[in-house]
Amino acid sequence: MGTLYRTRAQVRDIGALAAASMAVGASFGAITIAYGLPAWVPIVMSVTIFAGGAQFLAVGLLAAGNPVAAVVAGLLLNARHLPFGLAVADTLGARWRDRLIGSHLMTDETVAFTLAESEPAARRRVYWLVGGSLFVCWNTGVLLGVLLGGATGDPDALGLDAAFPAGLIALILPSLRDRSTRLVALTGAAAAVLLTPFLPAGLPVMCALLGLLTLIRPGSLPRHPTPADPEPADTPAGAVRTASASSDVPEGEKC
């Protein structure tokens, strides 16, 4: 019964995020048209790039006439996917086809839902379910936004910009019960917030990785044995003395 309830709750949460993704995608399509860019730009960008925040940033810079800055900003903002990829590499499997498609579907929400599972089979199922759902809903929303023009409105005014952060916070709350995980998360969040006014877009998110430094403590580092270290407890003292005495016997007197 508990498993069935959890599955239903999971499907409900994925459906809510997919609906929010469609609404934000529609806003992205409408905003792109409002900037005066061709209708094919948001559609092709959403299919080939599939990175919501980076797409909003890139479109703004393209509309301002700075395509180089759009590419650089997008790369910086999506650089967080490097550690994400390491975290879910085993989930995607060893085949190049699965890794190629899976990396394209990788988003913050997909990784968060995946890492919330403990079983490898459940992780793989959830990854493809969340990634595929968000991809379809986002691109459907973008197409609707392009067709409807400015009728969808600003996602910030509708409060939809808070949907994804709220979903991610809900997913990571169980992990914050662990003291070390909580310390890493809070330190990384503080570093990102403090550095946001001083660094370009995308870099503060990467600086959140500084929270991992809290795991490095003097007592946690491995210590190499020294000559003064005592002998291992599981080695009989008599055996050590016998081996030592036998090594002192001249070569000719050994049997």
**147 within domain boundaries:** yes
Q: What is the pLDDT of residues 7-55, one digit of tens each?
A: 666 778 788 888 888 888 888 888 888 878 888 988 998 998 888 777 8
Q: In the numeric block, which tokens belong to residue 225?
A: 């044995």
**216 within domain boundaries:** no
Which pTM value belongs to this model?
0.61
Own/partner long-range contacts of 84-88 (Cβ < 8 Å, ≥24 apart)? 84/108, 84/111, 87/111, 87/115, 88/114, 88/115, 88/123, 88/127
Q: What is the pLDDT of residues 70-108, one digit of tens each?
A: 787 777 777 778 888 888 888 887 888 888 898 898 888
Instruction: Tell me if 28 sits within 8 A of 140, measured CB to CB.
Output: no
| Pairwise CA distance, residues 70 & 66, whole Å | 6
**177 within domain boundaries:** no
**244 within domain boundaries:** no
**140 within domain boundaries:** yes
Q: What is the pLDDT of residues 133-192, one digit of tens each?
A: 999 999 999 999 888 875 555 555 555 555 545 555 655 666 667 777 778 888 888 888
**145 within domain boundaries:** yes
**49 within domain boundaries:** yes
Domain residue limits at 28: 2-153
**28 within domain boundaries:** yes
Could you give the number of structural domains in the chain? 1
